[in-house]
Amino acid sequence: MDSPRNPSESHDSEPHDDRPEDEFQRLLRQMLSGDGEGLAKATGLPVDPAAIASILASVQHAATSDEIDWAPARERAVQVARAQEVALTDDDREHARRAFDIARLWLGEATALETAAADRVMSRSEWASSSMPFWQTLCEPVAGSVARALTDALQRNLPVELQPMMTQAAGMMRAMATGVFVVQLGQVVGQLAGETVSADEIGLPVVSGAPALLPQNVHAFSQGLEVPVEEIVIFLAARELAHAALFRHAPWLTSDLTSAITAYARGIEIDATRIETLGRGIDPADAEALRRVIEGGELIPPRTQEQEAALARIETLLALVEGWVDTVTQTAVQRLPHRAAIAETVIRRRALGGPAEHAFGTLVGLEFRPRQLRLAAALWRTVTDELGADERDALWRHPDLLPTADDLADPAAFVARARGDEETDFDRDLARLLDGDLPASPRAEGPDDPDDAGDDATGDAGSPRA
């Protein structure tokens, strides 16, 4: 495609403030000529051949197809994960295998839920690649919305004389915005791969297959803890097995969480008018302006009512999952001398979140940190003490049996209701009616209706009617 202006014309000496249209034309020329270095900078990638090829491929695909190409996200995630990856060793596999065997045996004493027979270890790059389908499903609605909003905002702020040119280049602009988002997602997932210690540490089944540990990240987790590494590996293996056992026992849980998360993500519709001021503030000559806008989370609009409801459901379910896992794990690892210290580190780490998790939150506006985790763990301990482990685990058979957000603050009331001790309003009214404490209905008090007067006096046999 021809560039908007004659390439031989120089713009370096033209004042930017007086001729803003020239700056925009220069950005278009940079994009349309396939300036890989500028696009790499816009996505925050290093200026190297692999990174440039990745982003150019994403932009070119987006410019010719309505479908989002997620391959660059996977490629970038694997690249970032491999940057400081340490190869797995036979010792890593053997230590994890022993830890899983011990944890599996101990979990059998804490819950009747069947634990997975198979397990594995994963490298950072394996986790990044395996988890990408989950992130793709979650982020697809956001990627399209961001691309549309940025394109519309820039178009609305162009001088009238440049509108025809923007209409012609809108496809490429949208392609660049989509490419930036897709590759930035890959960057974040690659960073997450350097933080997570197990396949499903965030409390969601983001990786399909057998439970897994990431030995390199487990080793990093153990730094600063004056606890034998063997204890830490067993503790984390028990948590991973507990997660897997729960999601296997309650197949509805995965679909329920996924549908709530999808409902939340699909509710993110970024209106171009919301970022009109951002469109004015983006300097088209600055190749990193687009990346800064997306990374800052400024494109994520206020939550809708539907999103608030979905978010509340997500937070409650995550809190119940993590609280149950904490309770079961603590029971299973009673033989570990330093279990309390490890557990507190896990809770603190989860409460604070890592840099990659925060980066993901700015991209999508969703953080996977249950706010009521301690309350949920306390509730499951109460349920265990009062009803027993079998009754506790049976509550996962159906979502209607689980505690609600209100129950987290009053475990005793939930236990009473689960046990059947708590009377409902219907129970109380029925008891009062049988005892004669409820007032009779108006029709029983007297023959107010003339047509009923005779019938109210006697029945067919002449006896008073009940």
For 396-407, give one letter per residue: b (16+ CB within 10 A) or e: beeeeebbeeeb
Cβ partners under 8 Å of residue 197, min gap 6: 213, 214, 217, 218, 221, 236
> What stretches in the chain show pLDDT beneath 70?
1-66, 145-173, 176, 268-301, 355-356, 359, 362, 421-432, 434-466
Integer CA distances (angstroms), 3 to 59, 66, 73, 168, in order = 17, 24, 29, 11
Contact 186, 62 (CB under 8 A): no
Mind listing the pLDDT tens digit for each residue in 333-382?
999 999 999 999 998 888 887 766 776 776 777 777 777 888 999 999 99
Distance CA 11, CA 27 (A): 12
- The per-residue pLDDT for range 426-463, each reduced to its tens digit, is 555 666 676 666 665 544 444 444 444 444 444 444 44
Cα dist. 412→54, 371, 374, 426, 443 in Å?
56, 21, 16, 21, 42
* Domain coordinates in residue numbering, the chain: 20-364, 425-457
Contact 331, 110 (CB under 8 A): yes
Residue 31: its pLDDT value, please?
Answer: 44
Within 10 A of 184 (CB to CB), how many other CB atoms are there?
Answer: 26
Which run of H or of E encompasses 24? helix 20-32
| CA dist 183 → 26, 58, 78, 178, 192 (Å) | 23, 8, 11, 9, 14
Q: Write out the two tokens for 240.
A: 């991973």
Enter the DSSP assignment of 212.
Answer: E
Q: What is the pTM of this model?
A: 0.72
Give the DSSP H or E segment for 213.
strand 212-213
- Name the residue among 57, 26, 49 with its Cα closest to residue 286: 26
